[in-house]
Structure 1
């Protein structure tokens, strides 16, 4: 999967573009579920999700090729991965809390 992601972000390929388009179509289903929560809140959950996905991809690829430590978290350990999962959960929770405060 990591090699596919590297290929997708580093080449101009009809196959990778097709995979990207399928993933975006699947992501639309998630956003259709979340959009209603964020209407008129000032929270762009799609942007939050994009930053999370990009950050996850970068962190995984970086640690894969440059060692398991990133921001002093050892992603080669279960504890390090759990810390990252907790942080992702926290960010999504913050977005939902902010989305509960309608403008």
Structure 2
């Protein structure tokens, strides 16, 4: 009797089953975005793609909007892809190195160029007024504020508007990627769909950050 294996607790098994089902539903959002775009997202489509009852969308997530927000947060660049790097960067320094700034932007460019779902999400944010899209944008801003709290003082002393510079660069990355991936045309004669074009944009980003940083050392 002493060596008899313990019976698995049913409760823990149910919790694991529930979590697996939730993950299937979350992943279904991305599959629908790729197949049909955001106009194809509804509770019926999600339940069909995931192979679950539609009622689970509401019992597990409260609403379709909550489910979609959960999915986007798992794919968002700052809230997911770069979050850990950003946290480590801010915990281990009293100033953000210039290499870390343009490296973050290079990473964002790489991620957006490769991630078709993320491209659709950015396009969605630009064309739709949704509460969950605003919530995600606000969460990005919270991370951004933590970054600027550490990075900005160095540039403020030299009268350099780091926020303005990064606003232009980040929005430029968004637009250039969407432009290149939507119709494949050139922008200022640069083809971002080629390694050479991608490198030119990265070099331009690096140059702008370095020029701004040089002013901080000269002041």
The answer to whether the superposition gives a TM-score over 0.5 is yes
Alignment partner, residue 65 of structure 1: 182
Could you list the runs of 5+ residues in structure 1 that have no partner in the other structure?
A: none
Distance across 1 between alignment mates of 2:216 and 2:126:
31
Residues 12-91 of structure 1: matches in 2 within 5 Å?
Answer: 12-91=129-208
Could you list the runs of 5+ residues in structure 2 that have no partner in the other structure?
A: 1-117
Secondary structure of 1:34's aligned partner: helix
1:68 CA drift (Å): 4.3
| Residues 21-75 of structure 1, C-alpha deviations (whole Å, 9 max, x = no match) | 1111111222122112112322110000000011111111111112142111111
Higher alpha-carbon Rg: 2
Q: Which moved more, 1:47-56 or 1:29-38?
A: 29-38
Aligned length: 102
Q: TM-score, normalised on structure 2?
A: 0.44
**Does residue 11 in structure 1 map to residue 141 in structure 2?**
no
Off by >4 Å, runs of 4+ in structure 1? none
**Does residue 98 in structure 1 map to residue 215 in structure 2?**
yes
Do the aligned partners of 1:37 and 1:100 also contact (CA within 8 Å) in 2? Answer: no
